[in-house]
């Protein structure tokens, strides 16, 4: 309908039998009304308008514009300059219905002459439902459905705003990355309904502890993030982290169950840890993962080199992907010795060349693989490569050598893991007892998740060792219930074995506990003859470290094994290149 159609019929009375105008006005599905431009009195309205506003025709024609349009949106009476609906299109106003309810109306208007009087013709489309749907869509696009917190998309916008303000006002802003500790157990033990209620509780807990200028977001799962809008010092961000941890440590009752939220927090600050918010976010995320690997329930502020560390991590991720595409990882092997100087086995160590700086440490490679989700293909590839290498050594060694591989708890939580290992063992015809899997002591905290796969592998004959024993929080009860055959004393205790602040009682206790549970005990990081002597005296079953042998390439191991005269049962000496062995030591090989 053309808004000026009535203007063309100058001085046309409402009852004039003009069929086209009557159809367009009275038969229009949109609400249309006409009011006096001077008095704002309604002069006519179609049936759609009467239905939309809930009036009879008689009642509606007794009203003025001020009875329908909210006072804050009314034009000034008698003033063309203040008329907000004059010759405008798609102006959304809030109108009142007869029952007092408010509706959103898209208003389009034009000047007309009606009965010889200057009037306004208004098309008023009810868009209340449409705006409600639009608002819901916007809410869904920018907020987490469960907690109502901003999601990743909105967080990115808030981070950009925080950075812009920080640059303009020359102050600092911070990002806090949060991951809840052991959240999976809440879902497994109490059900997903309790888990969801727990997440909403945490969302409220975090929000209530922060300022209006700060943003709390849920990134998905049990991950949250916070943008601190304005801080004065790096230390103040640390105080916020401490305060949040204290809040998370308070038990709460949800659905009749007492749950104690705990979390791992990583904190990074602009401009100290990055020149843009993406860089700061990567540093905060990396710091959070360090807190998680350190046992959780703590916060870590990114170090001064966090930015370069984040870049290094990205480069490491790329290198890992390239190695996996070639389906061949670089492994070195470090020999393990018994007290009688016989080789009892070796440990496989994942290697990656770091140009100009030697090799990237295995711990860092595994940590990155866990962080970026590549731990599954990496772990699968390591087991396959170890089995392939053991097969190649059959031609140079009289007896098979036990090889230990490090395994992440994430791998043991996968139902397919045991079958994948079995496939590799069968493919290369390797005796399962020659494969030993090392898990960290902290992995035992995930007893319920890893127990099934461990028992299935142990049933095949695969052995298990607990690495870094003494540094975690494992329950002896769980340790006894798992198929563990070996514990390895962490190198930090061995290094202090001869110091004045001696770790001697701890090492002695670990050996005694291990033996009481019918387990072998191996000491890592043995570098001094005096350490070896003490460990011998305490009854340690095996040792590993630079005093005996450095990590060697597969070729060096082959050469060493080749000197063992594989067709005889006589003792043989394994002396890797560049490693000085004590003159009195006669090195013998023993079977697994």
Residue 583 has a pLDDT of 32
Any idea which of 85-99, 153-167, 225-239, 305-319 has the lowest mean pLDDT? 305-319
For the cut 60, the answer to whether the pLDDT of residue 24 exceeds it is: yes
Q: Which residue has the higher pLDDT, 137 or 279?
A: 279
Q: Which of 576, 570, 567 is nearest to 548 (CA)?
A: 576
Reported confidence tier of residue 371, pLDDT bands at 50, 70, 90: low
Write the secondary structure of 101-121 as one string of H (helix), E (strand) and C (coil): CEEEEEEEEEEEEECCEEEEE
For the cut 90, the answer to whether the pLDDT of residue 552 exceeds it is: yes
Average pLDDT, the chain: 79
Q: Which CATH class name applies to 5-132?
A: alpha beta
- Report helix, strand or coil for 588: strand
For the cut 80, the answer to whether the pLDDT of residue 118 exceeds it is: yes
Residues 70, 93: Cα–Cα separation, whole Å: 8
- What count of other Cβ atoms lies within 10 Å of the Cβ of residue 246? 10
Domains of the chain, by residue range, sit at: 5-132, 143-304, 314-562
Residues 473, 445: Cα–Cα separation, whole Å: 7
* Average pLDDT over every residue of 64-70: 88
Residues 271, 167: Cα–Cα separation, whole Å: 9
Write the secondary structure of 495-519 as one string of H (helix), E (strand) and C (coil): HCCCCCCCCHHHHHHHHHHHHHCCC
Reported confidence tier of residue 176, pLDDT bands at 50, 70, 90: very high
Residues 14, 81: Cα–Cα separation, whole Å: 28
Q: Which two tokens stand for residue 309?
A: 């560390």
Q: Which of 355-361's residues contact partners 24+ apart within 8 Å by CB, and which partners?
A: 360/316
Residues 342, 353: Cα–Cα separation, whole Å: 31
Contact between 512 and 545 under an 8 Å Cβ cutoff? The reply is no
Residue 305 has a pLDDT of 53
Residue 182 has a pLDDT of 80
Q: What is the CATH number of domain 143-304?
A: 3.30.70.270
Reported confidence tier of residue 95, pLDDT bands at 50, 70, 90: very high
Residues 387, 380: Cα–Cα separation, whole Å: 11
Looking at the chain, the whole-number percentage of residues with pLDDT higher than 90 is 27
Residue 470 has a pLDDT of 67
Reported confidence tier of residue 465, pLDDT bands at 50, 70, 90: very high
Q: Render 312-371 in DSSP notation, one character per residue.
A: HHHHHHHHHHHHHHTT--EEEEEEEE-TTSEEEEEEEEEE-B-TTS-B--HHHHHHHHHH
Listing from the earlier edge strand, what are the strands of the sheet with 215-220? 215-220, 223-231, 172-180, 263-270, 298-301
Reported confidence tier of residue 414, pLDDT bands at 50, 70, 90: confident
Residue 22 has a pLDDT of 67
Per-residue pLDDT tens digits for 486-506: 999 988 889 888 875 578 888
Reported confidence tier of residue 354, pLDDT bands at 50, 70, 90: low
Residue 4 has a pLDDT of 42
Residue 365 has a pLDDT of 75
Per-residue pLDDT tens digits for 216-274: 999 888 889 999 888 878 888 888 988 998 888 888 888 888 887 788 899 998 888 88
Q: Render 247-294 in DSSP notation, one character per residue.
A: HHTS-EEETTEEE---EEEEEEEETTT-SSHHHHHHHHHHHHHHHHHT
Q: Which of 320, 265, 293 is nearest to 468 (CA)?
A: 293
* Residues whose CB is less than 8 angstroms from the CB of residue 242 and which lie 6 or more positions away in sequence, other chains included: 299
Q: Which two tokens stand for residue 484?
A: 């563990």
Any idea which of 158-162, 169-173, 361-365 has the lowest mean pLDDT? 361-365
Q: Which residue has the higher pLDDT, 206 or 6?
A: 206
Reported confidence tier of residue 325, pLDDT bands at 50, 70, 90: confident
Q: What is the DSSP letter of 436?
A: E
Reported confidence tier of residue 429, pLDDT bands at 50, 70, 90: very high
Residue 332 has a pLDDT of 93
Q: Which of 306-314's residues contact partners 24+ apart within 8 Å by CB, and which partners?
A: 306/268, 306/273, 306/274, 307/273, 307/274, 307/275, 307/279, 307/283, 309/283, 310/274, 310/279, 310/282, 310/283, 310/286, 313/282, 313/286, 313/368, 313/371, 314/282
E strand or H helix at 150: none
Residue 90 has a pLDDT of 67
Phi and psi of 116, rounded to 5°?
80, 15
Q: Which two tokens stand for residue 431?
A: 């005796």
Per-residue pLDDT tens digits for 308-320: 455 556 667 777 7
Residues 577, 351: Cα–Cα separation, whole Å: 19
* Average pLDDT over every residue of 549-575: 66
pTM as predicted: 0.51
Reported confidence tier of residue 161, pLDDT bands at 50, 70, 90: confident
Q: Which CATH class name applies to 314-562?
A: alpha beta
For the cut 90, the answer to whether the pLDDT of residue 524 exceeds it is: yes
């Amino acid at each position: 309908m053309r808004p000026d159609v009535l203007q063309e019929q100058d001085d046309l009375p409402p009852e004039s039998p003009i069929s086209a105008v009557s159809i367009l006005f009275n038969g229009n599905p949109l609400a249309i009304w006409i009011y006096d431009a001077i008095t704002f009195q309604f002069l006519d309205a179609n049936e759609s308008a009467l239905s939309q506003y809930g009036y009879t025709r008689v009642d509606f024609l007794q009203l003025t514009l001020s009875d329908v349009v909210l006072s804050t949106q009314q034009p000034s009476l008698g003033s063309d300059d203040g008329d907000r609906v004059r010759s405008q299109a798609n102006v959304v106003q809030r109108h009142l219905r007869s029952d007092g309810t408010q509706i959103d109306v898209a208003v389009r208007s034009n000047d007309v002459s009606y009965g010889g009087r200057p009037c306004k013709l208004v098309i008023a489309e009810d868009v209340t439902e449409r705006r409600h749907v639009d608002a819901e869509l916007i809410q869904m696009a920018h907020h987490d459905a469960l907690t109502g917190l901003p999601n990743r998309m909105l967080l990115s916008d808030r981070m950009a705003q925080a950075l812009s303000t920080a640059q303009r006002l020359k102050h600092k802003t911070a990002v806090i990355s949060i991951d809840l500790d052991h959240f999976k157990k809440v879902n497994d033990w109490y059900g997903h309904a309790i888990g969801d209620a727990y997440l909403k509780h945490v969302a409220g807990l975090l929000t209530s502890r922060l300022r209006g200028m700060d943003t709390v977001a849920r990134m998905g799962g049990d991950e949250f993030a916070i943008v601190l809008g304005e801080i004065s010092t790096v230390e103040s961000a640390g105080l916020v982290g401490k305060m949040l941890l204290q809040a998370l440590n308070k038990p709460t009752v949800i659905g009749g169950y007492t749950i104690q939220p705990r979390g791992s927090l990583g904190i990074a600050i602009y401009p100290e840890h990055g020149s843009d918010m993406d860089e700061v976010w990567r540093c905060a995320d990396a710091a959070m993962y360090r807190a998680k690997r350190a046992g959780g329930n703590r916060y870590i502020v990114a170090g001064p080199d966090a930015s370069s560390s984040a870049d290094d991590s990205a480069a490491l991720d790329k290198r890992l992907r390239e190695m996996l595409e070639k389906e061949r990882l670089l492994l070195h092997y470090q020999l393990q010795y018994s007290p009688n100087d016989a080789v009892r086995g070796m440990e496989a160590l994942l290697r990656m060349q770091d140009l100009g700086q030697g090799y990237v440490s295995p711990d860092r490679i595994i940590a990155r693989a866990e962080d970026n989700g590549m731990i599954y293909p990496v772990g699968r590839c390591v087991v396959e490569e170890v089995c392939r290498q053991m097969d190649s050594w059959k031609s140079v060694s009289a007896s098979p050598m036990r090889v230990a591989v490090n395994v992440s708890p994430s791998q043991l939580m996968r139902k397919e893991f045991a079958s994948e290992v079995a496939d590799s063992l069968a493919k290369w015809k390797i005796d399962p007892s020659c494969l030993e899997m090392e898990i960290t002591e902290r992995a035992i905290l995930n007893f319920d998740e890893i127990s099934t796969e461990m028992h299935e592998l142990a049933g095949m004959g695969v052995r298990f060792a607990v690495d870094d024993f003494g540094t975690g929080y494992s329950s002896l009860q769980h340790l006894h219930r798992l198929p563990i055959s070996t514990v390895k004393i962490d190198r930090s205790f061995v290094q202090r074995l001869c110091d004045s602040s001696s770790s001697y009682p701890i090492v002695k206790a670990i050996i005694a506990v291990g033996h009481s549970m019918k387990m072998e005990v191996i000491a890592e990081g043995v570098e001094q003859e005096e350490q070896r002597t003490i460990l011998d005296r305490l009854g340690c079953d095996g040792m590993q470290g630079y005093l005996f042998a450095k990590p060697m390439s597969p070729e060096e191991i082959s050469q060493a094994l080749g000197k063992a005269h594989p067709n005889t049962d006589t003792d043989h000496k394994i002396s890797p290149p560049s490693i000085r062995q004590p003159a009195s030591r006669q090195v013998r090989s023993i079977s697994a």
